[in-house]
Structure 1
Amino acid sequence: MAATTTVCLEPRVKEMLNGLKTHREESYNSVIERIATMAYDSEPLTDSEIKGIEESLKDIKAGRYYSEDEAKKMLGID
């Protein structure tokens, strides 16, 4: 038998969960499990990927980037 936990929800959150039910009799457990499964990232970013993104954002902020048209022209796919 599964363990049971009581959760206190604000009425607006309960209504949101009701709106996410796939059918009227679907349990809140199933709704929450579906949401949690969608939100769970089984392949989170590595430290080097995060560092690369941070470096790219710095380049963008410093104006070191090419427009799509410029990149196409440089690659000869214009």
Structure 2
Amino acid sequence: MEQSTIKLSKKIKNDLKKQMNHPGETYETVIARLLKNAQEDDVLSPAIIKNIEEGVADIKAGRVYTSEQVKKRLGLK
């Protein structure tokens, strides 16, 4: 494996430490996991797309409630 050195600000280094799942986790593992998660977040699953489409259809059909209506129904102020 080729190794490289990169410069990080103290803030970024501390942010990466906060993302560690355990004290022995390497920065490389943390960065790889964050990159994988970022790539996965860019893709909407078919279930998410379906939920969005259903929500838009509900809005267009008027099947929505205002915050005040919800509060009243739940007995909140």
Q: How does 1:22-41 map to 2 (within 5 A)?
A: 22-41=21-40
Q: What is the identity, as a one-letter code, of the residue corresponding to 2:33?
A: R
Equivalent residue, structure 2, for 1:20: 19
Task: Normalising by structure 1, report the TM-score.
Answer: 0.53
Q: Deviations over 1:47-68 (max 9, x none)?
A: xxxxxxxxxxxxxxxxxxx872
Equivalent residue pairs, number: 51
Q: Name stretches of at least 5 consecutive residues in structure 1 with no aligned partner.
A: 46-65, 74-78
Q: What is the identity, as a one-letter code, of the residue corresponding to 2:10?
A: P
CA distance in structure 1 between the partners assigned to 2:23 and 2:17 by the alignment: 8
CA distance in structure 2 between the partners assigned to 1:8 and 1:67 by the alignment: 50
Q: What is the identity, as a one-letter code, of the residue corresponding to 1:8?
A: K
Shift of 1:5: 1.0
Q: How does 1:1-78 map to 2 (within 5 A)?
A: 2-41=1-40, 68=59, 70-72=60-62
Report percent identity of matched pairs.
26
Shift of 1:71: 1.2
Q: Name stretches of at least 5 consecutive residues in structure 2 with no aligned partner.
A: 45-56, 64-77
Shift of 1:44: 5.9
CA distance in structure 2 between the partners assigned to 1:30 and 1:13 by the alignment: 15
After superposing on structure 2, the runs of 4+ consecutive aligned residues of structure 1 that deviate more than 3 Å are none
